[in-house]
Structure 1
């Protein structure tokens, strides 16, 4: 077969510095991202007419897993993490060409330090993910009336609901107030990410989990525990300074 060579058009900056904690689909958290285009594509004309759209598709490469190769069947989180689906019946990262897609909210574009940037929100991408294409979201073609999935509930909606309340210890509350002075959207982002419970699917069957978990958002490590339907944030610290 003829080989196809694809070059990234740019890279996206996001709050997610590690895979653990990233929402499983776009728009489950109001996480912001900035796509910085490479010099070869940094012509303002590439975005001519885009301001009329509310959303865009980002096509990207699963750069952290592409080297692991693909699998014919994959474990599906929506099926509890043990049952398997065919790779083409899933959104798994382990794909033949490692290509993903996310529809995100378009916030505008501008030039920063001589580089053309696209600002978006609702991202579910790892920081520094390669972007291979950008396309406008077109409702009449991309939102299909009557469509369904095997995971639809009685109301016809497959979107997962946030089932966990997020609480903070007094110490974490004070830390969060300080962090928010530098990153105003951090409190909302922590609540959105943790309320979906980022733990592996098999862990969610346990009402009490004695393990302490951590996920990095921006430059902060968020340390938390689970008890029943409550996730409690115990500590928020700068990654480069564990004593902060």
Structure 2
């Protein structure tokens, strides 16, 4: 079997796993770039893509340790991390082959770089393939969603001072709030006094959570 190699790498303000949205499409203001490797930086490789709104990305969980350890169940965050389900019944990042699949919206294409929004990839993620999203075959609005239909994800209210808000451009600030509203903490951690740190856009965002309110307490 031929070895697969990255065709591109993803660039994002999220430079660690902590804070990356758990699914694509949850942070509509989060902008990232697909930067192709030199041999694919050719106009003909993307010819016709301007007619599509969305892409499928096939990528690798490069920041995870190898998970081919024989474990066939995981604890989905959507269920509070308290119930085990089969790995193939979830989108857990801990998979036998460490491959991810995401649908992202195209913002613009410039000089063989695709700018997208809503991706659940961290900075530096290897991308193995890009395919156009085709609504008439890829969209199934009537489909059942398994356990996700029964357990809604509760967003947090994000609070910050004007001083901290001024540390970011308007689009960056909107993306940051969307990411934090998804509650990036591990689901087993509920210490209201604990201060968490999340790198975003070259800054370290410090925050704590009490109930359904997330408060930013520092920007470094």
* TM-score between both structures, scaled by the size of structure 1: 0.83
**Residue number in structure 1 paired with 2:174:** 188
Given that 1:66 and 1:98 are in contact with CA atoms closer than 8 Å, whether structure 2 keeps it comes out as no
Q: Which has the larger radius of gyration?
A: 1
Given that 2:30 and 2:176 are in contact with CA atoms closer than 8 Å, whether structure 1 keeps it comes out as no
The size of the alignment, in residue pairs, is 218
State the Cα distance separating 1:153 from its structure 2 match.
Answer: 4.2
Q: Which ranges of structure 1 fall in alignment gaps of 5 or more residues? A: 238-244
- 1:58-69 map, 5 Å: 58-69=57-68
Given that 1:212 and 1:224 are in contact with CA atoms closer than 8 Å, whether structure 2 keeps it comes out as yes
**Residue number in structure 2 paired with 1:165:** 157
Change (3 A) 1:125 1:168: same
Q: Which ranges of structure 2 fall in alignment gaps of 5 or more residues? A: none
State the Cα distance separating 1:230 from its structure 2 match.
Answer: 1.4
**Residue number in structure 2 paired with 1:117:** 113
State the Cα distance separating 1:161 from its structure 2 match.
Answer: 4.4
In the alignment, the residues of structure 1 paired with residue 185 and residue 170 of structure 2 have an alpha-carbon distance, to the nearest angstrom, of: 25
State the Cα distance separating 1:201 from its structure 2 match.
Answer: 1.5
Please give the secondary structure, in 2, of the residue aligned with 1:18: coil
Structure with larger RCO (C-alpha < 8 A, sep 6+): 2
State the Cα distance separating 1:60 from its structure 2 match.
Answer: 0.4
- 1:51-200 map, 5 Å: 51-70=50-69, 71-111=71-111, 116-153=112-149, 160-162=153-155, 164-169=156-161, 173-177=162-166, 179-180=167-168, 183-200=169-186
Aligned to 1:211, which of 182, 194, 208? 194
State the Cα distance separating 1:90 from its structure 2 match.
Answer: 1.1
**Residue number in structure 1 paired with 2:20:** 22
In the alignment, the residues of structure 2 paired with residue 55 and residue 161 of structure 1 have an alpha-carbon distance, to the nearest angstrom, of: 26
* TM-score between both structures, scaled by the size of structure 2: 0.92
In the alignment, the residues of structure 2 paired with residue 90 and residue 121 of structure 1 have an alpha-carbon distance, to the nearest angstrom, of: 23
